[in-house]
Every structure is written in structure tokens, then in C-alpha cells.
């Protein structure tokens, strides 16, 4: 389990896909008002409606930041339909450490942001 804790700390200090996209098809931001975590995710789709680029920005605890890194790395190449059905359990499995209910909200913020951002998307890319 220590290796997972080390991974979370490393992803917090050296996040994957952190930054902005010059152009994006979908951008959404949300926060967890209970703890102050904020995540903004931007995705760009290719001609086949799959994620070709993804970036995120935000601030908060190590769990929320590591989660955003893991999620954005995992969704590369996915369709909007894949993203809409990405389960919270799958993201928690990627994180790999047991989390309290409050910490799960931190971990799942990135998924909430991502799915909210594409939920209103028309079926134009599917």
C-alpha cells in the first residue's frame, strides 16, 4: 500500500496533463465546497470523436490532484460514451488506497467535472 501512497504524492508534486489547451471541445470546472478542492478539465476530440488531448488545472489536496492526473491519463483515446460510463469505482481502483467517505469526494471530483462537462454534449461526435 505504501507504493500507492508514494504514487499519490508523486502525482501531486509532478501532475500528469496539468495545464491548459489552446483549443478545447469541452471545458468544465467545479469544486468541492467542503474542502476547497477545485478542478478544471479541458478535452479536445479527434476526427473520430475520441479524446486526443486533455489537460487539467486546479488546486487542492493530494488525493484530488492525483485523481485528476490518473483520470486524464486514462481517458486518452476514449469516446464521449466511454467517458459518460466511466465508473467511480474504476477511478477509485486507479487510486489504489482505501479512502474515507470524505476523501472519496476529493478523489471523485475530477470524474464529476469531466462527466458534467461532456454530459450536455450533443451526439455529434458519437
Structural domain includes residue 125? no
Its domain, for residue 110, covers: 2-119
By three-state DSSP, how is residue 42 classified? strand
Looking at residue 124, its pLDDT comes to: 46
Q: Is residue 124 part of a domain?
A: no
Q: With respect to residue 51, please indicate whether it lies within any of the assigned structural domains.
A: yes
Half-sphere exposure of 23 (CA within 13 A, CB side): 3
Residue 9 falls inside a structural domain: yes
Output the CA–CA distances (angstroms, integers) from residue 114 to 14, 18, 56, 90, 94, in the order listed: 21, 14, 10, 14, 16
Domain membership of residue 126 (yes or no) is no
**69 in a structural domain:** yes
Average pLDDT over residues 96-125: 85
pTM above 0.85, yes or no: yes
Domain containing 15 — which CATH number? 3.90.1010.10
- The per-residue pLDDT for range 51-109, each reduced to its tens digit, is 999 999 999 999 999 999 999 999 999 999 999 999 999 999 999 888 999 899 999 99
**Residue 70 resides in a domain:** yes
H-state helical runs in the chain: 2-13, 62-74, 80-84, 88-95, 101-119
> Domain tally for the chain?
1
Map grid coordinates 474504476 to a residue. Answer: 90
Task: Judge whether 22 lies within some domain.
Answer: yes
At residue 104, the 3 state secondary structure works out as helix
Amino acid at each position: 500500500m505504501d507504493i500507492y501512497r508514494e504514487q499519490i504524492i508523486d502525482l501531486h508534486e509532478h501532475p500528469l496533463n496539468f495545464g491548459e489547451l489552446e483549443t478545447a471541445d469541452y471545458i468544465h470546472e467545479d469544486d468541492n465546497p467542503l474542502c476547497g478542492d477545485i478542478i478544471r478539465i479541458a478535452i479536445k476530440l479527434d476526427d473520430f470523436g475520441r479524446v486526443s488531448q486533455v489537460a487539467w488545472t486546479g488546486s487542492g489536496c493530494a488525493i484530488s490532484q492525483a485523481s485528476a492526473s490518473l483520470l486524464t491519463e486514462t481517458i486518452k483515446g476514449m469516446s464521449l460514451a466511454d467517458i459518460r460510463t466511466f465508473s467511480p469505482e474504476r477511478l477509485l481502483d486507479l487510486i489504489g488506497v482505501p479512502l474515507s467517505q470524505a476523501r472519496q469526494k476529493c478523489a471523485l471530483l475530477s470524474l464529476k467535472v469531466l462527466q458534467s462537462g461532456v454530459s450536455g454534449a450533443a451526439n455529434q461526435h458519437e
